[in-house]
Structure 1
């Protein structure tokens, strides 16, 4: 409860900072405020996601542009519920141990899955609850130890929030320990864009990504 209060206070502070800034068009806020990740040009699709799209092309279609989610108390509770459910019911296990291959993205139906699978499950659950797919973007990051990882980035009016199977608390992307490399395009679920993360110098990423 204490952590929830701290996060909500931080999110409210971001809203105040938006209001205090010089007037800009609503669609420009996300590109100007550091609570939102800056994206660049189209980039390579993670191998596992490309194969996932071949198996499930209906999950990798163009998406209509949409404003960030207006994060009401009810939607905030919904986000927490989905994040907690999959973090506690899916046991983390590598693709090599599960499927005998280095990389295999899929929805976790057996109670086991890796970070990509859990992120896909959270995304699918939120879409089923009526959230716009264009605001639910699988993102590839680099951990402090140099290993690759995947999280779900949710675009809201309080900033880009991160749902992470390694962290129970939902955080703004800049408050995570990761270097963000790329994410799904907001315009097409089967395309990816680079993320400009100026906090760290990215030298390399895991080959699977």
Structure 2
């Protein structure tokens, strides 16, 4: 287990609900569960392919049934705490400065990373907490200026939510300022599917 994951488990246990001011009374979620319209299978981001070359044990190429998270107030709090903890404890840095590469996906084991590194750590921490991998989907989006960005989509029975390194808020996917491009398939983490109307994928993701 990564050292930073171990530290996170301890920190989250000590901090409890103090990290994110969310409780059962304030938990609401979207009035209507909304889910992204998925298209056909599409190209796999180079960053994921390269990541899997270095972390083969975490990229098994196996088919599995889709799963979703049963979103209760307690589950919402747990996901929100992990999202906030990662955002507050990882220092943002561009891949060029961090790895000397244009786009390298990796765990921020040294406490530094960019958007996809944040998303990878959140995904791993949520899996460690017992959440199904099939509901935790690495996702490529475009910002308003066309730049590539990566977030983690959490598929729940109350809709799809986004965990973003640029916000501590766990937001419904319809309430983020991005154009969704593609994400991991629920059936196979090494297959990626298009989201919404066809659009060109960014060459790399950053921020």
Gaps of at least 5 residues in structure 1 are 16-34
2-side partners of 1:127 and 1:47: how far apart? 23
Please give the secondary structure, in 2, of the residue aligned with 1:70: coil
Higher normalized helix content (fraction of residues): 1
Task: Provide the alpha-carbon RMSD of the alignment.
Answer: 2.2
Moved over 2 A (4+): 1-11, 61-64
TM-score normalized with structure 2 length: 0.82
**Aligned equivalents of 1:165 and 1:185: distance in 2?**
22
Is structure 2 residue 162 aligned with structure 1 residue 143? Answer: no
Counterpart of 2:162 in structure 1 is 162
Structure 2: gaps of 5 or more residues: 1-19
Q: Does 1:14 align with 2:25?
A: no
1:3 and 1:169 in contact (8 A); partners too: no
Partners of 2:201 and 2:165 in 1: how far apart? 20
Is 1:122 the counterpart of 2:122? The answer is yes
Q: 1:42 to 1:125 in 2, by over 3 A?
A: same
Query: How do 1:62-81 and structure 2 match up within 5 A?
Result: 62-81=62-81
CA distance in 1, matches of 2:88, 2:196: 31
Task: State the match for 2:55 in structure 1.
Answer: 56
Q: Which residue of 2 aligns with 1:47?
A: 46
Aligned residue pairs, count: 185
Measured against aligned partners, the alpha-carbon deviations of 1:110-130 in whole angstroms (never above 9, x if no partner) come to 111000000000000000000
CA distance in 1, matches of 2:134, 2:28: 26
1:205 aligns with 2:201: yes
- Please name the residue that 1:29 is paired with: none
